[in-house]
Amino acid sequence: MPVGLVEKLVSERGYGFLIADGETKTLWFHTKSLSNADIADLRVGDRCEFKVGTKNGRPVATNIYVDLPDEANRVCGVIESVCGSFGYIRAEGHKIFLRCKQCNFFCDERCVGQAVSFIPADNGGVNAVCAARVRLET
């Protein structure tokens, strides 16, 4: 099976695009093609395996298996602040950088004080740790 990355997501419409390793053309996919995840769980850059099928005479990605991070590493915290498209989560005494696009909910100033869980991720050196795959906890 081909392996590649999630290239683009159009979550509100239920589809996205993958690009196979070593290829230049993207493949369209619909959420119904995801075998182990929901589109809300996906992020651009996620690795996945898939099959190539056809729809309306064009190649598409089907039977997509997404390599999701280990949920056992999930950390709980509270949204401390939000300003535009970023903010901070307070977790285990640390201030963790938050990009709102990593949330599976609409993140704005009204979210301050909300309990969340996330997976710690490397932020490329700007902030040592950032929050990935953030979701509200009830």
pLDDT for the residue numbered 16: 94
H or E element at residue 51? strand 47-55
Torsion of CA 17, 71, 119, 101, to 10 degrees: 30
Return the CATH class of domain 3-66: mainly beta
pLDDT in tens, the chain (138 residues): 899 999 998 888 999 999 999 999 999 999 999 988 777 778 888 889 999 999 999 999 999 998 876 667 788 999 999 998 889 999 988 899 888 877 777 888 889 999 998 888 766 555 567 887 788 887
CATH number among 2.40.160.100, 1.20.120.420, 3.40.50.12160, 2.40.50.140, domain 71-136: 2.40.50.140
pLDDT of residue 124: 57
What is the number of other CB atoms lying within 10 angstroms of the CB of residue 61?
26
Q: What is the pLDDT of residue 84?
A: 86
Q: Which pLDDT does position 125 carry in this prediction?
A: 54
Quote the CA–CA distance of 29 and 51 in Å, as a whole number: 11
pTM value? 0.57
Same fold, 3-66 and 71-136: yes
Domain extents in the chain: 3-66, 71-136
